[in-house]
A and B are shown apart, each in its own frame.
Chain A
């Protein structure tokens, strides 16, 4: 008997006999994480915008961890380099309930978590992605520090 479900799994690149059970880092997950970090580390109201997402990954000071760089791509536009996946990140953070309002390229999203919930989600994903969550928190702290100094 041919196991067609196994063939289907293999077609996605899941190794034979392997499991897709563990969550992988994706742009969508990064979107949720950033929204939570912004909520936890500072006043997120008015701060969760796509341009903030861009700043985090494209800031000259950002030594993007390899695991994050692996899932992001850059596009050269007139306004500068743009992270291709930013819209996906924003939409995912909204669809997952972490933030509200659609397509916020030039407007802020509304945080839908309180800080406790944001902490809880981050802690959950930090079990699997500790260095990535720490890096995001550090980048947001640095960014908040710069803004506070302006």
Chain B
């Protein structure tokens, strides 16, 4: 079993900077010489009303480490939107301790723990709850996120050490061992810092003087265990396992959530609040034995595993209080945590902190200890902002940058919305069916992950379009994911069948609750300075159109409160500054050049060209993309275009695989083409992937002597793609000129408007497969697109003495 000292030793070895910063620098300063209190103290709290801190609890609250949390706001910058949301991490920590105490008292009633055991556990739980946020830096989660990124290797090393030493001694699930290849869930930086403070020599000395029943060493480890959410040594009582203790510390309705949901709603002044008193009064342990274990639980019984588990349960009468709690939490996400103005403020603050900390680390060569001290300084959020607003280290460039950014946050001069980006704000979204027009589906799906991962590039693209010296005043805040867990481990005794356990979600539809907030949660925003909202909206729309062929619709601007006339005017100004190709994109956004057209970006071609070498693929995709964009086909072309790209993917495979495998051996009319047709048909039919989605057949009704294949999708409502085949002893370009117009004959026959012309050609020059790719627009009443590709064949059978040999099966 580990000791606190052995954990410290390994931490010093694996993450020396972080360990030294906390153990040797911050902890001695913020914990200092122990001065335990001998008297209790009453606390009056708006959520928990009047209650008493024990001397041990009061001693911890008195620490500078905890007192500084008075000045770290629980909700970061949300107070810029909700002026009342000024409550601190200290209030929350004390409230969490109180919630843990109430929950434990309520739940332990139904167990066989004796009074002494209850007091031991409660003592530890309360100290752990008090200290769980002691490592929070200024600006709470925002600060920890930046610190964790800038010093990623140190935090990852610390996490690995803690997870190795603070493991669950028993595994509750039989399948857990099978998952050894996946790592345990990541620990946020603030939690790691909290645990390191708990394990510091200074904290061990203090704990040793608080009069706890456990030794200081064991108490520190147990508290660290609990903060990490794995308090198994105090849960494990031999034949009985008190799982509810783990649930109180880290679970679906743990003491942390119980406090912050009630507290955040209260201080933000929202007219909704979870009925915490009712919820807690209805908590009751549920006894899980081999006899009543639901089939979906993977819990082991019998030595060495326990015979019975006490689970966090709730009486049926408490289900509505729990429902209200979940609803309040969802509501808080919409109204506070993901409020657009809060997100804008956080993005501005995050950029300032990232630039500041990276500057200190990379340019000033300052240590992790320096950065950590800067963020955990006693003055909290406001002191950090104040210091930044007065920053003066003799580097005028940096000083001015930090001061300007900090001043703007202090003055609440926050970035404004310029564009709302979601599935529902695109021009191609069909409100009546609640989805994108099928034709443009792939544009959004492919853009979604690319935008998420390349926000900095997109910000730079927008900024650079407006001002080549861009100062970084553009913020792209992408879709926030939904953290509400919908299948909580909370149990209800079935009143109609005593002893039977049901999951609480039998009592209310959590899915429906979350649906109510769907739109807000899934909106990404572009933010910018107030003065250039319309300009940024226009530039952002342009960049998204150019990169992904996304067309932000009126809803994207309306939600951002950018008048349509303003952004249209800004687009027209933008048009005057860009080249002709770019002008066509702006025209498309404005809709001034007729129906809006497809502008598939190079990325749209990548799957179709997958068989090509990477060096050939990207230039070919760029060339084809530009050519199709110039054709001006309407948006509903995408359906036919995307199907044709899927077919092209298999044809390019064939092209690359059999390039220079054919010889123009037949002298009878269309003999070569018939052979080509048969070979290609067999190739496609034999491909498992192709057969999964398509069928291929010879086009028996083709006229004019052409030899074609018809590819049909196995899905509904897709028009077949015609593959026009040619095999002539001429160059591929000449064949394109002669035959690309041939598919016009199918225009009225229910076939897709995008066809493929696939030629076997002869050439003395060495032509790479990618260089044969081209597109031709067939102008007619109903315009068509022909995608062309060529496969090089031998003009004649090479002589036996020639350098070239005929590949097997070529004829």
A and B held together in a complex: yes
What residues make up the interface of A, taking CB atoms closer than 8 Å to B? 1-2, 4-5, 7-14, 19-21, 23-24, 26, 28-29, 32, 40-41, 50, 57-58, 60, 63-64, 69, 72-81, 83-84, 87-88, 91-92, 94-98, 100-107, 112-117, 119-121, 123-124, 126-127
Within 8 A of A (CB), among B507-524: 510-511, 514-515, 518, 521-522
A76 x B456 contact (CB < 8 A): no
A97 x B423 contact (CB < 8 A): yes
A102 x B515 contact (CB < 8 A): yes
Task: Determine the residue in chain B with the shortest Cβ distance to A12.
Answer: B149
Docked complex Cα distance between A81 and B132 (Å) = 25
Docked complex Cα distance between A123 and B650 (Å) = 11
Distance of B429 from chain A, by nearest CB (Å): 10
Could you say which residues of chain B place their CB within 8 Å of the CB of A73? Answer: 182-186
Within 8 A of A (CB), among B333-364: 351, 354-355, 357-359, 362-363
B397 x A1 contact (CB < 8 A): yes
How many chain B residues sit at the interface, stated as a range, is 35 or more
Closest 7 CB pairs of A and B: A123-B607, A80-B298, A96-B448, A11-B354, A114-B715, A105-B487, A105-B486
Docked complex Cα distance between A87 and B521 (Å) = 14
- Of B55-63, B108-116, B197-205, B437-445, the segment with at least 4 beta carbons within 8 Å of chain A is B437-445
Docked complex Cα distance between A50 and B794 (Å) = 54
Q: Say whether, besides A8-B472, A75-B184, A78-B489, A115 and B172 are in contact (CB < 8 Å).
A: no
A76 x B173 contact (CB < 8 A): yes
Could you say which residues of chain A place their CB within 8 Å of the CB of B179? Answer: 58, 74, 81
Q: Is B483 an interface residue (CB 8 A)?
A: yes
A91-B481, A97-B445 are known contacts; what are 19 more A-B pairs with Cβ within 8 Å? A5-B460, A7-B363, A10-B362, A11-B146, A11-B354, A14-B456, A26-B449, A28-B452, A41-B692, A58-B179, A60-B175, A74-B184, A78-B311, A80-B176, A83-B182, A92-B449, A100-B435, A102-B482, A104-B511
Could you say which residues of chain A place their CB within 8 Å of the CB of B149? Answer: 11-13
A126 x B514 contact (CB < 8 A): no
Task: Determine the residue in chain A with the shortest Cβ distance to B485.
Answer: A87
Distance of B186 from chain A, by nearest CB (Å): 6
B297 x A79 contact (CB < 8 A): yes
Could you say which residues of chain A place their CB within 8 Å of the CB of B448? Answer: 32, 92, 95-97
Could you say which residues of chain A place their CB within 8 Å of the CB of B607? Answer: 120, 123-124, 126-127
Docked complex Cα distance between A112 and B487 (Å) = 24
What are 28 sample pairs from A and B whose C-beta atoms fall under 8 A apart? A5-B472, A8-B354, A10-B362, A26-B453, A29-B449, A41-B692, A64-B181, A72-B183, A74-B185, A76-B172, A77-B173, A78-B172, A80-B173, A87-B481, A95-B422, A97-B441, A98-B445, A102-B514, A102-B518, A105-B486, A105-B487, A114-B716, A116-B643, A116-B713, A123-B607, A123-B608, A124-B446, A127-B617
Task: Determine the residue in chain B with the shortest Cβ distance to A1.
Answer: B397
Main secondary structure of the interface of A (DSSP, over half): mixed
Q: Is B168 an interface residue (CB 8 A)?
A: yes
Could you say which residues of chain A place their CB within 8 Å of the CB of B608? Answer: 123
Docked complex Cα distance between A4 and B441 (Å) = 37
Q: Is B398 an interface residue (CB 8 A)?
A: yes
B357 x A103 contact (CB < 8 A): no
Distance of A137 from chain B, by nearest CB (Å): 9
Task: Determine the residue in chain B with the shortest Cβ distance to A122.
Answer: B607
Q: Is B54 an interface residue (CB 8 A)?
A: no
B485 x A105 contact (CB < 8 A): yes
Q: Say whether, besides A87-B482, A106-B486, A78 and B173 are in contact (CB < 8 Å).
A: yes
B363 x A2 contact (CB < 8 A): yes
Could you say which residues of chain B place their CB within 8 Å of the CB of A97? Answer: 423, 435-436, 441, 444-445, 448
Q: Say whether, besides A26-B453, A69-B181, A74-B179, A123 and B485 are in contact (CB < 8 Å).
A: no
Distance of B354 from chain A, by nearest CB (Å): 4
A76 x B449 contact (CB < 8 A): no
Q: Is B289 an interface residue (CB 8 A)?
A: no
Could you say which residues of chain A place their CB within 8 Å of the CB of B434? Answer: 100
Task: Determine the residue in chain B with the shortest Cβ distance to A77.
Answer: B489
Q: Say whether, besides A105-B486, A105-B487, A126-B610, A20 and B453 are in contact (CB < 8 Å).
A: yes
